Structure 1
Amino acid sequence: MTLDAHQHFWNYDSLRHEWITPQMAKIRQDFMPEDLGTLLRKNDIEGCVAVQVDQTEEETLFLLGLADAHDFVKGVVGWVDFRDENVYKRLDYFSQFEKLKGFRHIVQAEPDDFLTRTDFVQGVRHLSEFDFSYDILIYPSQLAAAAFFVSQLPDVRFVVDHLAKPDIRTGAIAEWSKGIKRLASFPNVSCKISGMVTEADWQHWQPSDLTPYLDVVVEAFGTQRLMFGSDWPVCLVAAEYKQVKDSINTYFSTFSATEQQAVWGENARKFYKIEL
C-alpha cells in the first residue's frame, strides 16, 4: 500500500487559521477530501493520514467524520489536551474510533522547554494504554527537549513531523543534524519525510537543496523508520503535489525495491496500524 502519511483538511476561517499568513494566500481557502482524492489517484497514492491543525476536540471529530465518508482517508491524527486532568477519560472516549490512530500538539508554537513539562509528559504517557501514537511537531531549537521527552516514554510510538523543520532556506544543518540524530537514537521514534519544500526557498528551491537533509535522516533512522508525507495543502505555497512527490521519488530511486516500498507506505501502515 502506498500512503501519504501527512496531509490536512480544513474549511478556511481567517480567525481559526490565523497561522496562514498573507504570504500563504494560495491556501486561504477550503481543502477537502474531494480535492485531495484526485491528486492521490494521479500520483499512485492509495491512502492518506489526515493530521490536525486546530487544537480542539471538535477538529478531531471533524477529521474522523471525513475519514468515515472517504475510504482513502486511512487514519487520523487528532488532538486532546494532554495537560487536562481528565485526559485519560478523553483518550478512553476516543478509543472507540477505529480510524483515530494518534494525537499531536503544536509544540512548535510553545516555549522550547514545553516537552519537558511534567503534566504534558504524564498526559502523553497514557497513549500507550490505548495503542495511540504521537506526532512530534517541533523546530530545531526544541530537539533537545524532544529527546528528553522521548526518553521518558519508551512505550509510546513517536514520529517526527517534517524532519523537525530544518532551515533548508539558509542551508543550516550542523546543529539540526546533531539533534535529529540524538532523537533517532531512540528506537521508538520514526520520522516523516514531509514539509521540506516549505522550509526551503518557496520560489527558487531545487530538489538538490533537500538532499543533504535527506542524507542525514536516512543515516539516522534508516529506511525502516522513514515515511513519505506531502504536507498538502500547506506544500502548495512552494510546490504542487506532484513536485513534492517527484523530488522524494528521485532521491530514493536508487534504493532497493524493499526500501522504497517501506518509505512509500509500508512504514506508515505499520506505524499507524492501518489494515490492508
Structure 2
Amino acid sequence: MTVDAHHHVWDLSVRDQDWIRGAELRSLRRNFTLADLAPEARAAGVDRTVLVQTVTVAEETPEFLALAAEHELVAGVVGWTDLTRPGIADELARLRELPGGRFLKGIRHQVQGEPDPEWLLRADVQRGLAAVAGAGLVYDLVVLPHQLPACAKAAAGVPRLTFVLDHLGKPPIASGEHEPWATALRTLAALPNTVAKLSGLVTEADPASWTTDDLRPYTDTALEAFGPGRLMFGSDWPVCTLAATYSQVSETTRELTSGLSAAERSAVYEGTAKRVYGL
C-alpha cells in the first residue's frame, strides 16, 4: 500500500475558498474533487489518502467525513474545529458520531495565518490540544518557519499528543536559505511526539524553475532530523499543481528518498501514515 498523507478537495459551489486570491493562484479557482484525484493517485501507485482541511469553517469537517465514508480512496480525515471553545471535548465526540466519524484522525488550524507567533501556547489553545490528545486524535501543524519554536514548546507541553508538521514547516526553498529553519526543525524533531510530512515543497521553491536539487537540502535535513520512521509522503494536491503535476511530485519525492533502504521507503510511503493516523 502507498499512502498520500496530505491532499485537499473543494467545491466552489458549496463555499468559497477565500484564500485563493491573486493572479498567481488563479488556476486553483475551480472545483477539485475526489473524482479528479483518483486517476492521478492510481497512476502514481497511491492506494489510500488522508484528506486535510482547507478553511476554518465548521461545516467542512462533516462534509469530509461523509466523503471518506463514500470513497474507498480516503482512509482518514484531518478536520477543523475551534480548539479554543470551552466544550471542545464534547465537539470532538460529536464529530466522531457523525456519518463517517470513524475516519476523523486529526485536527488542524491555519496557524500560519495567526499574527501571534506563539498562538499555540495560549492557555485556551493548550486546553484544546489536550482535548485532541484525549480524543485519541493527532494535531497537524501548518506553520511558517518563524512559528516553529512555538511548535516545539507546544509539543513539549502536551507530550501525549502527536504533532504532525505539514510541509516541513514551509522552508524558504525559493531563496535558498537554510537557517534558522533547519535549527528550529531539529529542535522540533528532537521531541518524540513529533512527525513530519514530505509535502508542499514544490510550491515553496520557484514554481517556474524548481529542480529536485533545490529541494534536496531540505529533505535531507528532515531525513536526518526525524528519520524515515517519522516522515510521510504527501502530495499537497491540488495546491501542488501551481508548480508540478501529481505524478511529478510523486516521482520527485521518490528520487529524493532513493537512497533509503526498502524498509525506510516503506515507512515514508505507508508505515508512518498508517501508524500516526491509525489508518
Which secondary structure does the structure 1 equivalent of 2:174 belong to?
coil
Residues 1:102 and 2:103 aligned together: no
- 2:110 corresponds to which letter in structure 1? I
Pair 1:249-2:249 in alignment: no
Secondary structure, in 3 states, of the residue corresponding to 2:59? helix
SS across alignment from 1:4: strand
Preserved contact between residue 197 and residue 235 of structure 1 (Cα < 8 Å) = yes
Deviation of 1:14 (Å): 11
Residue correspondence of structure 1 range 189-204 to structure 2 within 5 A:
189-204=194-209
Which residue number corresponds to residue 210 of structure 1?
215
| 8 Å Cα contact 2:62/2:95 also seen in 1 | no
| Structure 1 pair 216–186 and aligned structure 2 pair: CA distance change class (3 A) | same
- Show CA shifts across 1:50-71 (max 9, x none): 0001112210011111111101
Percent identical residues: 40
Conserved 8 A contact 1:56-1:79: yes
Picking from 173, 176, 179, the partner of 1:174 is: 179
How big is the shift at 1:149? 0.8
| RMSD of Structure 2 on Structure 1 (CA) | 1.2
> When the two structures are aligned, how many residues end up with a matched partner?
274
Q: Which amino acid counterpart does residue 80 of structure 2 have in structure 1?
A: W
Shift of 1:13: 6.1
TM-score scaled by length of structure 1: 0.97
Q: Unmatched 5+ residue regions in structure 2? A: none
Match of 2:35 in 1: 34
Give the 5 Å matches for 1:1-276: 1-12=1-12, 16-21=16-21, 22-96=23-97, 97-111=101-115, 112-274=117-279
- Listed one character per residue, the Cα deviations across residues 62-91 of structure 1 (whole Å, up to 9, x for unaligned) are 111111110110000001101011111101
| TM-score (structure 2 length as normaliser) | 0.96
Which runs of structure 1 show a deviation greater than 2 angstroms over 4 or more consecutive aligned residues?
12-16
Deviation at 1:95, TM superposition (A): 2.5
Deviation of 1:170 (Å): 0.3
Q: Which deviations, in whole Å up to 9, do the C-alpha atoms of 1:213-241 show, x marking residues without a partner?
A: 01100010001000000000000000001
Contact 1:169 1:201 in 2 (8 A): yes
Segments of 5+ residues of structure 1 without an aligned counterpart are none
The CA distance in 1 between the partners of 2:259 and 2:7, in whole Å, is 26
- Kindly state the Cα deviation for residue 18 of structure 1 after the two structures are TM-superposed: 2.2
Larger deviation, residues 150-159 vs 8-17: 8-17
* Paired residues of 2:89 and 2:135 also in contact (CA < 8 A): no
Q: Distance in 1 between matches of 2:78 and 2:45?
A: 22
1:209 counterpart SS class = helix
